[in-house]
Amino acid sequence: MLEQEKNYDVLVIGGGIAGIESALKLGDMGYKILLVEKDATVGGHMILLSKVFPTLDCSACITTPKVSEIARHPNVTIITISEVQEIEKLGEKRFSAKILEHPRYVKENLCTGCQECERVCPSYTDDQYQLSQVARKAVYIPFDIASPRIALIDIENCILCGACEKVCAPEAIDFTQEEIITEIEVKSVVVATGFQLFDPTIIERYGYGKYKNVVTSMQMERQLAPTRPFNTVMRPQDAKVPDNIAYVLCTGSRDNRVGTPICSQICCMYSTKQSQLLMGALPMADVSIYYLHIRAFGKGFCEFYQQTVGMGVEFIKGKVGKITEKPNGNLILRYEDIETGKVKETEHDMVVLSVGVLANPEITKVFTKQKLEIDPYSYIHQSDELANPAKTSIDGVFVSGTASGPMDIPDSIMSAATAASGTSNYIKH
């Protein structure tokens, strides 16, 4: 819950890796930061990943020290399950912002994170942090390394039985909590609202949502992560460990028909990374990657791709037209072999759709009086992309990470540092 303090130097919107990095750098410079995150935990997409490419370093091992550092930083205040409702520029280095805090129905200062309430809760619903591959309780802590590690109640799925109240020794459960709107004043704003993943149900011919053994790359990522829902990789329909897995690249990127004309910049390499991890998790499995072009443009990316080929992953230059299901749950991929020009079909146990990323332009609506402009692809417009890439159309508002366009984790962190530098220069001069 937001403290009584109403004046901060910088408002950072978004608690993913870019928002965390910007807030940490500005906090280290001595600025007072308010970081607002809409989810129940900070860490964004990165804290849910297994490993990062091309080094295969543990993603959570990189993220959690930063999450821990920002949680303890004396100059940074974090509020979760909260949204910025309105931002108005009052003058030079003066912004007014209205913050909406949704009720957690758990007193943050009393909850110990013991999860006794979660154990006795009788109500189940889909676990969004595991991409709906398993269920969670109505009262829950998002995942083991969530920060803050405080329970919350999903009131829409709560049956109000009171079981959690009865076992909560510190009496932290509080069903009387209501929404709180607080108005604060800041000198500058950093927008780090990240990206959305493409919804593959839009491409009906791939059968996502219809065929259970067609999953997204993020669902596969969770099956490979240390905090994964199962102890192995399995296909959803029958829990069979798959012997033959296919990836379909460019699902929802470079495709004008679904409104996503640009490259996601990450799906080639995260699919290549996952294929290596699968070869380790399932040594006897065959992995095939259907692609249009492999875009291995970063430092060490091409070598990582060549290493993957050497490990035995099959790369097929082919455009997948349709996926159909056999009675046993196996999937038939019908594709055009671009090398030969022939239409072919192959059978796989499981198909992973390598989904692209989309802009998250909703944040532009909170700015009143002055318009926060977006580019033709709905990302935040960088008004001086070469000399000051964090600068936006509103003087004093800076963009950090993938809010300005698709990028990988190293580029997102560099963008965050640029946003922090631009913000500091704006406040000082």
pTM (2 d.p.): 0.94
Q: Phi/psi of residue 419, each to 5°?
A: -65, -40
For the CA atoms of the chain, what is the radius of gyration?
23
Structure token pair of residue 136: 């969670």
pLDDT score recorded for residue 369: 86
The stretches in the chain having pLDDT less than 70 are: 1-5
3-state DSSP call for residue 41?
coil
The confidence score (pLDDT) of residue 38 equals: 96
**DSSP type of residue 58:** B
Are the C-beta atoms of residues 249 and 292 closer than 8 Å to each other?
A: yes
- Tokens describing residue 3: 């403290």
- Interhelix angle 59-72/17-28, nearest 10 degrees: 40
Through-space distance between the first and last CA atoms of the chain, rounded to whole angstroms: 32
Q: Do 81 and 40 meet the contact criterion of CB atoms below 8 Å apart?
A: yes
- 88, 340, 360, 378, 384 from 403: Cα distances, Å: 20, 40, 7, 9, 15
Looking at residue 358, its pLDDT comes to 95
Written as one string, the DSSP assignment of 265-325 is SSHHHHHHHHHHHHHHH-TT-EEEEEES-----STTHHHHHHHHHHTTPEEEEEEEEEEEE
Q: And the tokens for 330?
A: 């196996």
Exposed, middle or buried: residue 245 (CB in 10 Å: 0-12, 13-18, 19+)?
A: buried
Is 100 in a helix, a strand, or coil?
strand
Structure confidence at residue 4 (pLDDT) = 60
- C-alpha–C-alpha distance, residues 297 and 220, integer Å: 24
Query: Which DSSP symbol is given to 258?
Result: G
Residue 55 backbone phi and psi in degrees, to 5 = -90, -15
